[in-house]
Amino acid sequence: MSFAYRDGVYCAEGLSLEVVAQRYGTPCYVYSRAAIESAYREFEQAFAVADPHRRALICYSVKANSNLAVLSLLARLGAGFDIVSGGELARVRAAGGDLRKVVFSGVGKTEAEIVQALEAGILCLNLESGEELERTDAIARRLGLRAAVAFRVNPDVDAKTLPYISTGLKQNKFGVSYAEAERLYRDAAARPNIEVAGVGCHIGSQLTDPAPLADAARRIVALAERLERHGIALRHVDLGGGFGIRYNHESPPSIGIFIATLCGALGARRETLIVDPGRAIVGNAGVLLTRIEYVKRGEARNFAVVDAAMNDLLRPALYQAWHEVVAVRPAGVAIDSYDVVGPVCETADFLGKERKLSIVSGGLLAIRSAGAYGMAMSSNYNSRPRCPEVVVSGARAELVRPREHVEELYSQESIPAW
């Protein structure tokens, strides 16, 4: 177990989180290297079992956690990367990732980002509109190269996840419509500076049922078959990410089942299968470590006021997302129910509500499953310096991003002379 109690103290691998807090302070993100590695290997293994002869590429979705230490670890394991900005491309490069294994999705790629991606020689640009095809074609002509592209096709299936992280419905802004896809492919295939490489789709995140994924995959396969009849052959099918993890009582299928479902939908088609998991690789590989500043007993509620806040972990405030909260060393006092809240001036600033905990002020809490969309979505709201990130491996810990200093937050600002 990467995060578990040992002798009554909650640990990351072989290191007590009390030691981590002492060394690096709180709040602090703590990642388990072994957990990231084993999640990646689970995908590899799932492909090997489900469809050993199919070429597959696991493109880690950088948006989930973009620390260079995480990217570099995954690059060394052989991962490709799914990116959504020039910034993420720069990070993959800085981490030593293989740019030929990069797919670039995103609904609003700028001219500069497309130039950057083409010059880097990435695997594929996932286009999301006819206008983006025009822009990419013009840039490729100017640069005198061929742009490898796919369309991100919106299969119009209901992912049955939280409304804000569902992306595959007609009313979502993502991708090109299923009906329009065929025409766009024919247009793309006729352009000398465009090379049709594949097709992409992503229906949503935190999926706990493989059925909508299978539906989407079947629709994409039907499209690939139609394209083939028009003489358009695809090298890869990118079926996205979205594989759900366990935060609370969810019981998501195993990665093995998810991957077997996708391989099954592809059937005898021989395209390379690309998946772009983010959360399933890093979500349960990280905790947010925080100290209780005050225990406040109210008439209606008790509060544990902690030193982490919505600026550090936005998911509860933004999505009402549930993260398990555990006492690093249960205090031995009576268990009571607490809302775990931060110091930010917003009612939405909570990390957990009505949690049964044995705590006293000064104690440490670990907010679990915070490895994905935690630090990556953090901000400096309320002029709070962003917290450090630490990777643990066995009994070793390494600071992979230091705590920000308050002065850094305004060092680029200036006061007009007038």
Interface pick for ligand LLP out of 27, 80, 97, 278 (rule CB under 6 A): 278
Nearest to residue 24, comparing CAs of 311, 313, 360, 287? 287
**Active-site residue flag, 345:** yes
We find the least distance from the C-beta atom of residue 2 to ligand LLP, in angstroms, to be 18
Interface pick for ligand LLP out of 279, 355, 384, 386 (rule CB under 6 A): 279
Q: For the window 388-407, what string marks contact with ligand LLP as x by the rule CB under 6 A?
A: --------------------
User: Which residue among the candidates 11, 28, 201, 345 is catalytic per the annotation?
Assistant: 345
Question: Looking only at residues 1 through 60 of this chain, which bind ligand LLP when binding is defined by CB under 6 A?
Answer: none
User: Which CA distances in Å does 312 have to 8, 260, 353, 383, 407?
Assistant: 27, 36, 17, 12, 18
Residue 168 within binding range of ligand LLP, rule CB under 6 A? no
Residue 312, both tokens: 């550090």
Toward ligand LLP, which CB reaches closer, 242 or 388? 242
Question: Looking only at residues 286 through 315 of this chain, which bind ligand LLP when binding is defined by CB under 6 A?
Answer: 315
Residue 243 within binding range of ligand LLP, rule CB under 6 A? yes
Q: For the window 315-344, what string marks contact with ligand LLP as x by the rule CB under 6 A?
A: x-----------------------------
Nearest to residue 297, comparing CAs of 228, 348, 246, 361? 361
Residue 242 within binding range of ligand LLP, rule CB under 6 A? yes
| Residue 80, amino acid | G
Residue 350, both tokens: 């909570």
Interface pick for ligand LLP out of 36, 39, 64, 224 (rule CB under 6 A): 64
Residue 137 within binding range of ligand LLP, rule CB under 6 A? no
Q: For the window 248-277, what string marks contact with ligand LLP as x by the rule CB under 6 A?
A: ----------------------------xx
CA atoms within 13 A on the CB side of 142: 11
Toward ligand LLP, which CB reaches closer, 331 or 376? 376
Residue 224 within binding range of ligand LLP, rule CB under 6 A? no
Toward ligand LLP, which CB reaches closer, 185 or 243? 243
Residue 210 within binding range of ligand LLP, rule CB under 6 A? no
As annotated, the active-site residues are: 345
Binding residues for ligand LLP (CB under 6 A): 61, 64, 82, 105, 165, 167, 202, 205-206, 240-243, 276-280, 315, 372-373
